[in-house]
Amino acid sequence: MVPSALPGGPGGRDAGKGGKVAVNEVELPKGRIADWLAGPLRANRSIYVKVALAAALINLFALITALFTMTVYDRVVPNNATDSLVGLTIGLVLILLFDFVLKLLRAYFVDVAGARIDRDIGRAIFNQILNMRMDLRRHSTGGLSALVREIETLRDFFASATITALVDLPFIVITLSVIALIGGWIVFVPMMMVPLVAAGALLSQPLMRRLSAQTLGEALGKQSVLVETIGSLETVKSANAGPILSGRWDAAVSRHASSSLRQRVISTISINIAGTAQTMAYTGVVIYGVFAIAEQRLTMGGVIACSILAGRVVAPLGTIAHLLTRLHAARTAYQQIDRFMSQPVEGPAGIGLGVGNCDGGIEFREVDFRYPDAAELALTRVSFKIEPGEHVALIGPIGSGKSTIARLAIGLFPPSSGLVLVDGTDIRQLAPGALRAKTGALFQDNALLTGTLRDNILLGRENVDDEEMIRAATISLAHDFISKLPHGYELGLSDRGEGLSGGQKQSIAMARALVGRPPIIILDEPTSSVDTETEQRLINNLREEFEGRTLILITHRPSLLRLVDRIIMLSAGRVVMDGTPQSIRDRVADIRTASRKSDGRAA
């Protein structure tokens, strides 16, 4: 193998602790937003400036409209000055037109920013999922997909009323100043509403924070049940597991419904406090105005302008109260996504080594391995060296660690201790993609993806030509049935290869492992879904195919052992025998004879 420098994934950061659905509050590093969120927000800076500008102008127009009303009542009505009214009306219509256009533009820009945030954060999370270290995986499939959905909560928070509300805040002070200028002490009426609304919003915060975390955790739990059920519908039906899953679903839904109901009640209370305060400010100004007019401290137009402006003071507070209730949902979503995004990705930090000419030598040196959260080691002190071009079978009872070795050999999991080497290089130094490009692997789940048969065979090796695809499919016997299909290799498969039999799926997965002639082939139970006659034909095809390439074959089928020149036998995660098929057979026979003898003596 000739290592070459390749850009690897981002460097590992410390993993946070995560629960499947438990959402705990996490302290964020103060004053710093993570790059995955800060980047998209920064990229939208110019849009936010436009939105802020539009919001500022809209506020200004609101002030002008109030002053227009005052002028009409104080100057036009008493003097019957219809000429001035025409001029004022034309001015107002223009302002209203501007206001209308600006509000449309503001909404449009906010949506554009939202769509970009969605796309950028979504891409970052998807890449993190693709590169995630399997040993750090803590989320169930449903939990993970629910987490991705939380982007919407963040998007809504950052791309909607937030910016407008932030711009509205300084206008509270400006509007209060204008009220004071027009009506003097009357300004205290709307001013008194400010602490009332603020207190309503702030008092609900601790509860909202707790409820947001709880609601999100329960949403993840609900999604887990849903995804698990849909993904295993056939098994669920055949095992008659419907009632159990319905029970789980009902429990998850009612837990989620009850906490989101509580969250909504609290949020509605603080939003209604703001609404009531707005009405109180308006009517308070009118009542105060009656006395002010009587004492000739204020004109009728002044009172009306002040009442309109009083509403403008309290309205943004209402928006902020609403935002504060959403802040916690956004904060919880941010913490959860950040915890996931902070997990180290697979592959070496920074630059990973590429794999040039791969000879195909594989070595396990004193490898211990424990699955995440597992009590027992799945592999204990496993050592073996497979020379380039050697054909090795891994055999042993179920759960003895055969598939685990295959997973470690292609770097899906790093060893807990010890070394896994390919051509003498620790695979933790290799870029995972580069290593897997040199490996053809068939695992037990034979996962096929949505797309054509061609897409599924060429998955990850799109540069391979049709001739090579058909060659691989012919060897795996997939060509036998594909050539009889009306659409042939263009047949579209739906979710997970529905529409194909188990054996057909397996032969497609086998063709995928063989296509492009990778120097290392790993086959985990490659004939578990086929009949003995097909298996025999496959063995004949594969014998020649494996010539000069390294093969790790995991099997319970003795017939497949004809393809290998060495057998490694595992038991309870340890290598118990390692030798040629003949030597293993002899030793097994010796052990059986010895055990029969000792049984006989005991009898």
Ligand X SMILES: Nc1ncnc2c1ncn2[C@@H]1O[C@H](COP(=O)(O)OP(=O)(O)OP(=O)(O)O)[C@@H](O)[C@H]1O
**Chain residues in the site for ligand X (CB under 6 A):** 371, 374, 378, 396, 398-404
Q: How far is the CB of 580 from ligand X (least distance, A)?
A: 21
- The dihedral built from the CA positions of residue 340, 345, 351 and 354, taken in this order, carries a sign that is negative
Q: How far is the CB of 398 from ligand X (least distance, A)?
A: 3
Three-state DSSP at 386 gives strand
From residue 471, alpha-carbon distances to 453, 484, 537 in Å are 14, 16, 15
Q: How far is the CB of 29 from ligand X (least distance, A)?
A: 32
Do 273 and 321 touch, CB atoms closer than 8 A? yes
Q: Which of 530, 490, 482 is nearest to 506 (CA)?
A: 530
Helices 151-159 & 161-183 angle (0-180, nearest 10) = 30
Query: Which regions of 224-361 does DSSP assign to beta strands (E)?
Result: 351-355
- The nearer residue to ligand X, 320 or 378, going by C-beta atoms, is 378
As a 3-state breakdown, the chain gives helix, strand, coil percent values, each rounded to 5, of: 65, 10, 25
Q: How far is the CB of 396 from ligand X (least distance, A)?
A: 6
From residue 346, alpha-carbon distances to 137, 401, 414 in Å are 11, 22, 9
- The nearer residue to ligand X, 333 or 378, going by C-beta atoms, is 378
Do 85 and 196 touch, CB atoms closer than 8 A? no
Q: d(Cα 191, Cα 202) in Å, to the nearest integer?
A: 17
Q: d(Cα 302, Cα 282) in Å, to the nearest integer?
A: 13
Q: Which of 514, 525, 593 is nearest to 557 (CA)?
A: 525
Q: How far is the CB of 382 from ligand X (least distance, A)?
A: 11
- The nearer residue to ligand X, 17 or 601, going by C-beta atoms, is 17
Exposed e or buried b per residue across 49-64, where buried means at least 16 C-beta atoms within 10 angstroms of its C-beta: ebbbebbbbbbebbbe
Q: d(Cα 501, Cα 567) in Å, to the nearest integer?
A: 31
Q: How far is the CB of 588 from ligand X (least distance, A)?
A: 17
- The nearer residue to ligand X, 315 or 509, going by C-beta atoms, is 509
355 phi, psi to nearest 5 deg: -120, 110
Residue whose pair of structure tokens reads 């998007």 in the numeric block: 155
Q: How far is the CB of 362 from ligand X (least distance, A)?
A: 16
Q: How far is the CB of 397 from ligand X (least distance, A)?
A: 7
Q: Which of 416, 428, 420, 427 is nearest to 377 (CA)?
A: 416
Q: d(Cα 12, Cα 352) in Å, to the nearest integer?
A: 13
Q: How far is the CB of 442 from ligand X (least distance, A)?
A: 13
- The nearer residue to ligand X, 103 or 557, going by C-beta atoms, is 557
Q: How far is the CB of 264 from ligand X (least distance, A)?
A: 39
- The nearer residue to ligand X, 135 or 150, going by C-beta atoms, is 135
- The nearer residue to ligand X, 281 or 378, going by C-beta atoms, is 378
- The nearer residue to ligand X, 374 or 603, going by C-beta atoms, is 374
The encoded tokens of residue 132 equal 């995630």
Q: How far is the CB of 371 from ligand X (least distance, A)?
A: 3
Bridge partners (DSSP) of residue 345 are 132
Q: How far is the CB of 168 from ligand X (least distance, A)?
A: 52
Q: d(Cα 414, Cα 418) in Å, to the nearest integer?
A: 10
- The nearer residue to ligand X, 316 or 401, going by C-beta atoms, is 401
From residue 249, alpha-carbon distances to 185, 230, 236, 332, 376 in Å are 59, 12, 13, 23, 32
205 phi, psi to nearest 5 deg: -60, -50
Bridge partners (DSSP) of residue 571 are 574
Span between the terminal Cα atoms of the chain, in Å: 58
- The nearer residue to ligand X, 216 or 530, going by C-beta atoms, is 530
- The nearer residue to ligand X, 316 or 396, going by C-beta atoms, is 396
- The nearer residue to ligand X, 134 or 207, going by C-beta atoms, is 134
Q: How far is the CB of 404 from ligand X (least distance, A)?
A: 3
Three-state DSSP at 492 gives strand
Q: d(Cα 82, Cα 303) in Å, to the nearest integer?
A: 22
- The nearer residue to ligand X, 170 or 399, going by C-beta atoms, is 399
Q: How far is the CB of 150 from ligand X (least distance, A)?
A: 25
Do 313 and 175 touch, CB atoms closer than 8 A? yes
- The dihedral built from the CA positions of residue 493, 495, 500 and 503, taken in this order, carries a sign that is positive
Q: d(Cα 552, Cα 384) in Å, to the nearest integer?
A: 12
- The nearer residue to ligand X, 404 or 425, going by C-beta atoms, is 404
- The nearer residue to ligand X, 152 or 578, going by C-beta atoms, is 578
Vertex 395: Cα angle to 389 and 396 (nearest 5): 155
Q: How far is the CB of 522 from ligand X (least distance, A)?
A: 12
- Pairing verdict, β 566-571 and 391-395: parallel
